[in-house]
Amino acid sequence: MLDETGLSVRVTEIVQAHQGVEGALLPILHAVQAEFGHVPQAALPVIAQGVGVTRAELHGVISFYHDFRDAPAGQQVVRLCRAEACQAMGGDAVAAEVQAQLGLGWHETGADGAVTLEPVFCLGLCACAPAAQVNGRLIGRVDAAKVAAHLAKVGA
């Protein structure tokens, strides 16, 4: 793992690789997260200075997009849709059951680092609500048993 100086050097390289690219902030954030598994706090001043935004503006962008993390995700990531169509089709009950089974709240990772649970606001499967995404795989008409089955496939 890089120390803070090494991290700053690597983030600077990522920022410089995007110089001259219009709208470079999101590609930079994606590249930083791909490199480190999250967007580390130590990277924020380097990114803000590199793209000419304030730390507050940068925080606003990072907090707006649900894909950016401030800490590494677990080995497996469960995303449950919280949008209205999924709620109307029982998504709240599914979410409560999955949270209980995993022992996690929203944006939490288990102490063992195995699973992270995240809310999302639309996975584009409204016609197959409620929807989830487990390790990048979309699942329609989901229930807690389907989530557990998809987690078990990877864990096996």
| Owning domain of residue 108 | 76-155
What CATH number is associated with residue 151? 3.40.30.10
Is residue 151 located within the same domain as residue 90?
yes
pTM above 0.85, yes or no: no
Is residue 98 located within the same domain as residue 58?
no
Query: Can you give the pLDDT at residue 3?
Result: 81
* Regions of the chain short of the pLDDT cut 70: 1-2, 154-156
Q: Is residue 109 part of a domain?
A: yes
Query: Can you give the pLDDT at residue 62?
Result: 94
Which residue do the tokens 């730390």 mark?
55
Query: Can you give the pLDDT at residue 155?
Result: 56
The distance of Cα 44 from the centroid of its chain, to the nearest Å, equals 17
Neighbours of 44 (CB within 10 A): 17
Query: Can you give the pLDDT at residue 67?
Result: 83
Pair of tokens at residue 50: 């590199």
Query: Can you give the pLDDT at residue 1?
Result: 56
